[in-house]
Structure 1
Amino acid sequence: MSSMITATTWVRRGVAAQFPTKYEIDEEEINRISKLARMQLEEAQGDLKDAREKEGGKDEMDEDKDNNKDKDAMDEDDKEKEKDKKDNKESNDDDDDLKEYDLDHYDSDEVDEDGEQITMFGNVKSLAYHKPGEEDPYLVLPEGEDDDEEREELQILPTDNLLLAGKVEDEVAHLEVYVYEDEADNLYVHHDIMLPAIPLCVEWLDLPVGKDVGERTTGNFVAIGTMDPDIEIWDLDVVDSMYPNAILGQGGAENDAPSAKKKKKNNNKKPKANDEYHVDSVLALAANRQHRNLLASASADRTVKLWDLHTSKCAKSYANHNDKICALDWHPKESTVLLSGSYDRTVVAADMRAPEAQAARWGVQTDVENVRWDVHDPNYFYVTTDGGMVYRYDVRNAPASPAESKPVWTLQAHDSSVSSFDINPTIPGFIVTGSTDKQVKLWNIQDDKPSMVVSRKLEVGKVFSTTFAPDPEVSFRLAVAGSKGVVQIWDTSTNAAVRRAFASRLPALEGEVPERITGVEQDSGESSDEGEEPDAGEQGHERDGWESMDED
């Protein structure tokens, strides 16, 4: 694959800093990054050692011979360097024109009577001499127009939305932060964040997390789940940051000694699920909007974890499924009830305060892709599946067993996996489905009679994400992304069929207007639909069913 967007989420208007700050690295950060690099190097060396031991290792006598050869070669190099140094010194002694520059002391540690270091320029009266620690005016750029221009380029207006997109491009994973200017019909990448592995889910957070949050009570942060078991949290108001504000998981332990990592690495057995951190890919994240310090995560290790963002520690761990858990959603009103969906073909609604209580459980025919509470009537929730189905259930009619599940209605929305799903936050009965068949479909489900309004291919490849904008003024804007690695913003209110279907619920939609779709211009070398990612029949789940995750 050359480029792919696996997940997106919106940031509502007015929460981003109008002028994001440029990250400036300090000594403490350098030391932390250096420590991390050393630990990663030790892990790599340990892996290399293990690999050599498995192959039978290398004969010690051969290693000694190689070392002796290297030593002999180094001795020869030293002799050559000494000879060159002697020749250069003799040449300098004979060249009167160069004596005044005192080249013998160009790297000297000697100091003069004032205690300043002697350099080769110290004796050149015609050259400007700057003492160590002194700023060179020719190297320091004056503040002015350049700073103002850069500041203006970073500016985010209160009327702008941010759109966050997890992307992998030529095997490099990163999070792209887009700015969407609705009135100007403009979408562009503001900055990006490098990630350690393929991103699988992103969740916006309004609570400051991790270092340097001070007394702030609100913020603009993002939690990212990847193929790695750790969850990274980044400050979106800081540009060019080198390290996340917090890491939820084993990688975030401050006292995780290299010896412990070696022990873990040398153990060939796959780590077992535990109550403290995930041990496999993170497939879904859900922030609790009422208890803002709580973040739920679902993993391929078959557990759901509840994280306290104040401490960056796991508060609870739940095992309500017997296969990978790929979807989560908090109840909009009952703030402690969490909906979870799994590849075990069940959906569970559980109260996180009572993990030992019997949770309500529903069953479906194929693997779950998405779960979502109906924000307009939380007595109901939706499930989409790998088989192309959409189900609507009444939470008040929990079945005695998953096999006895009876949905309010069932919809065959697509012929292949319904990989993405969303509910319009402003208009009741307006939902969207996206599929690996490359189609996006808008539905009117008023009076529990689902009917398709329009179906479109938006040239994003296989669709992995469809999300409505969160603000009422732009709630008809739909972000669509997929296997081509591009994002399209579709103003669905400009579609004639949408205007006819929902005009009674929003009179402002009356009349005809030109249809509007906004995207970022791509290079001519963009990948085509064919051959850019695993085939659906081979991999099953396109977004999160990667080969490494399908291993038991």
Structure 2
Amino acid sequence: MISSAAWIAKGKAAHHPTSYKVDDNELERVAKLANVHFEDAKAQFERAQRVAAGWHDGKEIGEDEGWEDDDKEEVKEDEAMDAEDEDQDTVTKPAAKEDPNDLSRYNLDNYDNDDNEATTMGPFSNIKGLQYYRNNDEDPYITLKEDPVEAQEEREELEVMPTDNMIITAKTEDEVSLLEAYVYIHEDANLYVHHDLMLPSFPLCLEWLDYKPSGGGEGSADQNSNVGAKGNFIAVGTMDPEIEIWSMDVVEGLFPDAILGQKDITEQLNAPKGTGKKKRKQAKERVPNANYHVDAVLGLSWNKLARNLLASASADSTVKLWDLSKPADENGGTNALRSFGDLHTDKVQSVAWDTSNSSRGSIGQPARLLSGSYDKTICVFDSRSPSDVVRASVSSDLESVRWNPWREHNFFVSMEDGLVQSFDARMLTKEKSASAIFTLSAHDGACTSLDISPHIPGCIVTGGTDKLVKLWNVEGDSSFEVNAANQDINWRPSSLSMVASRNLDAGKIFSVQFSPDDPLTLVAAGSRGVLRVWDALANVGARKTFGDRLRAMPNDPAKTAIRIDGNEPARGDGVVSLADESDNESDDGGHGGDVAMEE
């Protein structure tokens, strides 16, 4: 299954990704992040070398007193067994037809040499064979050196052009979890897997960011940049309490660039509590604290204006704020900058920084956060003064929250009962008495994901456990201009209509998201573990509904007009998948219909 998917905009990925390199700085960084004590391991290794070389005696190995006596007893037992074997040989020897004068079978000519070699034999006698080499050229055992032609071909295969998008998925298959990176070429409708990275735990959410985190030391998996430099990174929330940040410009990566949390402490929470038969039945209590999460990370949001800030939502009922410029402590962990533990009483499913009206150029309130929880409440608060939180109650568990990039203070939420609601943050109160601007019955099952187009005002997409992806039109919110209507607290849409509904053969939908570059192109993924890219311009209803708004887009209107009025047969069905996948799904309802609006 694919639990989450995230776009990477064109031009953000490195043209030529690099391979993961292991040097002294990287080993030191990994040791710090993973809390691995290499000095202890090195001491044990040197001790094994001395033992193998025959330099040990009983006094050197003081911790294992009595081992000599045990060996002597074993030697005596071996000698006794040899004596018995000799007696048996003596009994059976007359029956053997061998030349009694033939001594070649004893190999007496090499007897002394064998004896000398035996003194240095052991599991570590050929210690040179265990040495680690920084590259294959230094390793004498690798005689087939790297072919420069093949290296150049591999470099070209990994090339990501500035006109290419990347799509990152959080995938789990056969109990193996990984980040899978795809390259999507919109002009050719081409999608292929670029590389993947193994994850230690089941992934739940993804968030792209361009800020290079401090990491665990001087080194980093992305070894060509400094802290704060612009890069191409993915933050991953998993069933573990820690947040991992990976560079997507590094292939064959073995360890993340940074880990947020205290892994050495939270690992103990997974150990069984109690003794004997009751050990498995008793789980250690996970007590929330101000420094790190103690349960799964369910949601992430990166602040595009304060680039070093990352917000997280967790099953431990807290929202935490992380400073990516903060270096790891001596134990390899990183503590949160702030923790908000009084907002919710149950799992916090989703969190989002305020980006309202951002598509019209407004900065909004970049310090404001929106969170949604399984306690059926929504919270809006300033991260600098969380005591001024305002709330709203909803009818079901929250699945996702999104700020409206076309209207100030406006946000949308989707819920487990299939409803989508819109709120104005100015209408929320401390008493949770605010009412929704509108309510949309979007799906028969849970509405697991929603997104609002950054290109077309009034265009939203939803995905649900009914396996459908739906496009919606919010009529009356279609202007590109900034005016007083964008901030009218009494605004209501004139109508809501479903533009298109489609089963993309991805199973139950867990993630939908609009492309950051191409209007009406979106990605969807779910329980089948396959990725689908849908260019909804192939849908007649979408072109009719959003055509005028697409032509009015300020960026490259001529190119957009050509795509809207293009050759119909050449469009296909608009769905792009991997080349080796069969794609037989059909459009379930291009025109859609009016959907009843509740207030």
TM-score (norm 1): 0.75
2:397 matched residue in structure 1? 367
Residues 352 and 73 of structure 1: is their aligned pair in 2 closer, same or farther, counting only changes over 3 Å?
farther
Report how far residue 72 of structure 1 moved.
Answer: 11
1:459 matched residue in structure 2? 505
**Count of equivalent residues:** 457
Aligned equivalent of 2:335, options 300, 313, 330: 313
Give the Cα–Cα distance (whole angstroms) in 1 for the partners of residues 245 and 82 of structure 2.
53
Give the Cα–Cα distance (whole angstroms) in 1 for the partners of residues 511 and 400 of structure 2.
11
Residues 516 and 244 of structure 1: is their aligned pair in 2 closer, same or farther, counting only changes over 3 Å?
same
SS across alignment from 1:356? strand
2:205 matched residue in structure 1? 201
Range 278-287 or range 263-272, more displaced? 263-272
Give the Cα–Cα distance (whole angstroms) in 2 for the partners of residues 134 and 294 of structure 1.
42
Aligned equivalent of 1:17, options 8, 14, 21: 14
Range 213-222 or range 235-244, more displaced? 213-222
Give the Cα–Cα distance (whole angstroms) in 1 for the partners of residues 291 and 186 of structure 2.
43
Range 503-512 or range 290-299, more displaced? 503-512
SS across alignment from 2:384? coil
List alignment gaps of at least 5 residues for structure 1: 40-66, 84-89, 111-116, 120-132, 527-552
Aligned equivalent of 1:433, options 462, 468, 492: 462
Give the Cα–Cα distance (whole angstroms) in 2 for the partners of residues 450 and 77 of structure 1.
89
Range 427-436 or range 209-218, more displaced? 209-218
Residues 486 and 135 of structure 1: is their aligned pair in 2 closer, same or farther, counting only changes over 3 Å?
closer
Cα deviation, 1:489-519, whole Å, max 9, x if unaligned, reads 0011121110011111113223544332111
Cα deviation, 1:69-112, whole Å, max 9, x if unaligned, reads x98997699779999xxxxxx9798498xx8xx888889979xx
Give the Cα–Cα distance (whole angstroms) in 2 for the partners of residues 13 and 74 of structure 1.
69
Give the Cα–Cα distance (whole angstroms) in 2 for the partners of residues 271 and 168 of structure 1.
25
Residues 107 and 71 of structure 1: is their aligned pair in 2 closer, same or farther, counting only changes over 3 Å?
closer
Report how far residue 228 of structure 1 moved.
Answer: 0.6
2:417 matched residue in structure 1? 387
Structural RMSD (CA): 3.6
1:5 equivalent in alignment to 2:2: yes
Report how far residue 405 of structure 1 moved.
Answer: 2.5
1:350-361 matched pairs, under 5 angstroms: 350-357=381-388, 359-361=389-391
List alignment gaps of at least 5 residues for structure 2: 38-66, 84-102, 129-136, 220-224, 275-282, 327-333, 356-363, 477-492, 552-560, 584-599
Give the Cα–Cα distance (whole angstroms) in 2 for the partners of residues 262 and 443 of structure 1.
44
Residues 188 and 37 of structure 1: is their aligned pair in 2 closer, same or farther, counting only changes over 3 Å?
farther
Report how far residue 264 of structure 1 moved.
Answer: 8.0
2:302 matched residue in structure 1? 287
Q: Is the 8 A contact 1:207 1:218 kept in 2?
A: yes
Q: Percent identity?
A: 42
Q: Is the 8 A contact 1:235 1:245 kept in 2?
A: yes
Aligned equivalent of 2:496, options 450, 454, 460: 450
Report how far residue 152 of structure 1 moved.
Answer: 0.8
2:524 matched residue in structure 1? 480
Q: Is the 8 A contact 1:415 1:437 kept in 2?
A: yes
Rg comparison, structure with higher value: 2
2:186 matched residue in structure 1? 182
1:418 equivalent in alignment to 2:447: yes
Aligned equivalent of 2:575, options 514, 517, 520: 517
Residues 269 and 82 of structure 1: is their aligned pair in 2 closer, same or farther, counting only changes over 3 Å?
same
SS across alignment from 2:427? coil
1:297 equivalent in alignment to 2:312: yes
Residues 30 and 75 of structure 1: is their aligned pair in 2 closer, same or farther, counting only changes over 3 Å?
farther
1:227 equivalent in alignment to 2:258: no
Cα deviation, 1:369-425, whole Å, max 9, x if unaligned, reads 1111100113211111111101111222224632x3211111111111100101111
Report how far residue 225 of structure 1 moved.
Answer: 0.3
Q: Is the 8 A contact 1:275 1:316 kept in 2?
A: yes
The amino acid across from 2:250 in the alignment is: V
Q: Is the 8 A contact 1:331 1:378 kept in 2?
A: no
Give the Cα–Cα distance (whole angstroms) in 2 for the partners of residues 134 and 329 of structure 1.
50
1:255-266 matched pairs, under 5 angstroms: 261=268
Give the Cα–Cα distance (whole angstroms) in 1 for the partners of residues 365 and 17 of structure 2.
35
The amino acid across from 1:392 in the alignment is: S
Give the Cα–Cα distance (whole angstroms) in 1 for the partners of residues 262 and 352 of structure 2.
24
Give the Cα–Cα distance (whole angstroms) in 2 for the partners of residues 82 and 149 of structure 1.
62
1:167 equivalent in alignment to 2:171: yes
SS across alignment from 2:259? strand
2:131 matched residue in structure 1? none
Q: Is the 8 A contact 2:272 2:284 kept in 1?
A: no
Give the Cα–Cα distance (whole angstroms) in 2 for the partners of residues 107 and 146 of structure 1.
45
1:60 matched residue in structure 2? none
Give the Cα–Cα distance (whole angstroms) in 1 for the partners of residues 160 and 574 of structure 2.
23
Report how far residue 476 of structure 1 moved.
Answer: 1.9
Give the Cα–Cα distance (whole angstroms) in 1 for the partners of residues 420 and 269 of structure 2.
46
1:533 matched residue in structure 2? none
Give the Cα–Cα distance (whole angstroms) in 2 for the partners of residues 440 and 370 of structure 1.
15
Q: Is the 8 A contact 1:6 1:465 kept in 2?
A: yes
1:47 matched residue in structure 2? none
Cα deviation, 1:122-175, whole Å, max 9, x if unaligned, reads xxxxxxxxxxx9765971415421110111111111111111100110111111
Q: Is the 8 A contact 1:428 1:446 kept in 2?
A: no
SS across alignment from 2:211? coil
The amino acid across from 2:349 in the alignment is: C
Give the Cα–Cα distance (whole angstroms) in 2 for the partners of residues 91 and 441 of structure 1.
86
The amino acid across from 1:188 in the alignment is: Y
Residues 395 and 155 of structure 1: is their aligned pair in 2 closer, same or farther, counting only changes over 3 Å?
same
Give the Cα–Cα distance (whole angstroms) in 2 for the partners of residues 289 and 514 of structure 1.
36
1:378 matched residue in structure 2? 408
Report how far residue 470 of structure 1 moved.
Answer: 0.7
Residues 216 and 95 of structure 1: is their aligned pair in 2 closer, same or farther, counting only changes over 3 Å?
farther
